């Protein structure tokens, strides 16, 4: 006698492999409440802000979230993709997902999720499971590891997995800051970007997202991995240390962050006779507010106000041919034995 399955029992499907691209996140719109919801989730993450919640939450909910959403919303509005009606980060991540799906073929289901905002990690893991994925690769799109990025992206996935009665097998993609394919793709994008300019930069800046100095002192490897990425790219290009430098952006609050600071560097360079600059953000796999607004718009304004003459922002690898070929190479390596 054939047993009767309960009404809510999922259909039996052929086992598949899933790849879930994980990125930071974005508000759903630029209005106050959309940005407030996003910032509240982001800045409540204990991986991001390690201060005790009893101290931090009253400051966050009572002061920061009363003021910051308006400013951040205005900044998002400056770079919002009006045609798509969405943020560049989500628009480009969707394109990356579709391209990677084409590259990996029908035996793999590729999806994406955001650590903060939509689509949530939980919803996409559940969707992959329902689609028959018995093995899933979590692929945080952060070349350099940090507890504040890769660590918390994986945490969110594990939180969802803890509530699944039937868990799929899971792999997590490690940081790829020194992978030859990544270094080659990044170096090629810099070389192509610089050669396409109408001027020759006095210096090219690799601006990485910053973090409090204390996190480095507590053992986070991010700082060292950023320095190694730029050193390997510099060696690949055959450039001098003076031509390709490292800075750190996006500091928040009064504490000491990783230095040198990008904004202060941009304002100091013209006084040092370096008035032509190109800049890129290797810690980001996709262009977002930290690159398109903070660097390409505000950074340019700061540099020119200080006397700079020529400024160029070089885009992230995004869904470029070279960037996607690199991502396919890195992900296929982590799927070894499954595919």
Sequence-distant contacts of 92-96: CB under 8 A, at least 24 apart: 92/286, 92/287, 92/318, 92/319, 93/21, 93/23, 93/141, 93/286, 95/318, 95/319, 96/21, 96/141, 96/285, 96/286, 96/318, 96/319, 96/324, 96/327
21: β partners: 112, 139
- Per-residue model confidence (pLDDT) at position 254: 86
Q: Provide the whole-model pTM.
A: 0.93
What angle, 0 to 180 degrees and rounded to 10, lies between the N-to-C axes of helices 222-237 and 180-195?
60
Taking the C-alpha atoms of residue 334 and residue 338, their distance in angstroms, rounded to an integer, is 9
- Per-residue model confidence (pLDDT) at position 9: 58
Contact 302, 227 (CB under 8 A): no
Taking the C-alpha atoms of residue 94 and residue 119, their distance in angstroms, rounded to an integer, is 11
Taking the C-alpha atoms of residue 202 and residue 220, their distance in angstroms, rounded to an integer, is 32
- 3-state class (DSSP) for residue 310: strand
How many CB atoms are closer than 10 A to CB 240? 8
Buried b (16+ CB within 10 A) or exposed e, 21-32: bbbbbbbebbee
What angle, 0 to 180 degrees and rounded to 10, lies between the N-to-C axes of helices 121-130 and 152-161?
50
Structure tokens at 52: 């005790």
Q: Is 3 exposed, middle or buried (0-12, 13-18, 19+ CB in 10 A)?
A: exposed
What angle, 0 to 180 degrees and rounded to 10, lies between the N-to-C axes of helices 88-104 and 321-334?
60
170: β partners: 136
pLDDT by residue for the chain (339 residues), tens digit each? 555 556 555 556 689 999 999 999 999 999 999 999 999 999 999 999 999 999 999 999 999 999 999 999 999 999 999 999 999 999 999 999 999 999 999 999 999 999 999 999 999 999 999 999 999 999 999 999 999 999 999 999 999 999 999 999 999 999 999 999 999 999 999 999 999 999 999 999 999 999 999 999 999 999 999 999 999 999 999 999 999 999 999 998 889 999 999 999 999 999 999 999 999 999 999 999 999 999 999 999 999 999 999 999 999 999 999 999 999 999 999 999 998
H, E, C per residue of 47-59: CCCCCCHHHHHHH
- Per-residue model confidence (pLDDT) at position 4: 57
Taking the C-alpha atoms of residue 336 and residue 292, their distance in angstroms, rounded to an integer, is 35
- Closest by CA to 230, choosing from 217, 243, 249, is 243
- Per-residue model confidence (pLDDT) at position 14: 80
Structure tokens at 294: 């903070």
- Between the alpha carbon of residue 239 and those of residues 177, 245, 246, 274, 312, the distances in Å are 19, 10, 14, 17, 19
Q: What domains can be seen in the chain, in order of their start residue? A: 16-175+322-334 (3.40.50.1400), 180-313 (3.40.50.1400)
């Amino acid at each position: 006698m054939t047993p009767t399955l309960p009404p809510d029992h999922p259909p039996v499907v052929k086992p598949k492999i899933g790849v879930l691209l994980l990125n930071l996140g974005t508000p759903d719109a630029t209005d106050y409440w959309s940005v407030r919801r996003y910032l509240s989730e982001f800045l409540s993450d204990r991986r991001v802000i390690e201060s005790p919640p009893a101290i931090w939450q009253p400051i966050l909910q009572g002061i920061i979230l009363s003021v910051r959403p308006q400013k951040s919303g205005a900044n998002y509005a400056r770079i919002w993709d009006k045609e798509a009606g969405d943020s560049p980060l989500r628009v480009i991540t969707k394109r990356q997902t579709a391209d990677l799906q084409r590259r990996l073929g029908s035996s793999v289901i590729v999806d994406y999720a955001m650590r903060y905002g939509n689509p949530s990690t939980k919803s996409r893991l559940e969707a992959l499971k329902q689609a028959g994925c018995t093995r899933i690769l979590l692929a945080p799109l952060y070349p350099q590891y940090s507890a504040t990025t890769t660590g918390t992206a994986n945490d969110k996935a594990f939180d969802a997995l803890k509530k699944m009665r039937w868990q799929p097998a899971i792999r997590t993609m490690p940081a790829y800051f020194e992978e030859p394919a990544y270094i080659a793709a990044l170096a090629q994008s810099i070389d192509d970007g610089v050669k396409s300019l109408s001027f020759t930069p006095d210096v090219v800046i690799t601006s990485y997202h910053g973090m409090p100095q204390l996190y480095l002192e507590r053992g986070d490897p991010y700082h060292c991995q950023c320095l190694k990425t730029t050193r390997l790219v510099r060696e690949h290009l055959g450039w001098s240390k003076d031509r390709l430098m490292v800075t750190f952006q996006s500091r928040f609050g009064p504490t000491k962050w990783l230095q040198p600071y990008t904004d202060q560097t941009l304002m100091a360079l013209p006084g040092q006779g370096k008035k032509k600059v190109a800049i890129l953000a290797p810690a980001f796999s996709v262009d977002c507010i930290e690159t398109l607004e903070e660097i390409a718009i505000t950074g340019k304004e700061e540099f020119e106000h200080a006397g700079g003459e020529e400024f160029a922002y070089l885009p992230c690898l995004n869904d470029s041919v070279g960037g996607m070929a690199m991502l396919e190479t890195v992900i296929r390596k982590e799927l070894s034995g499954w595919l």
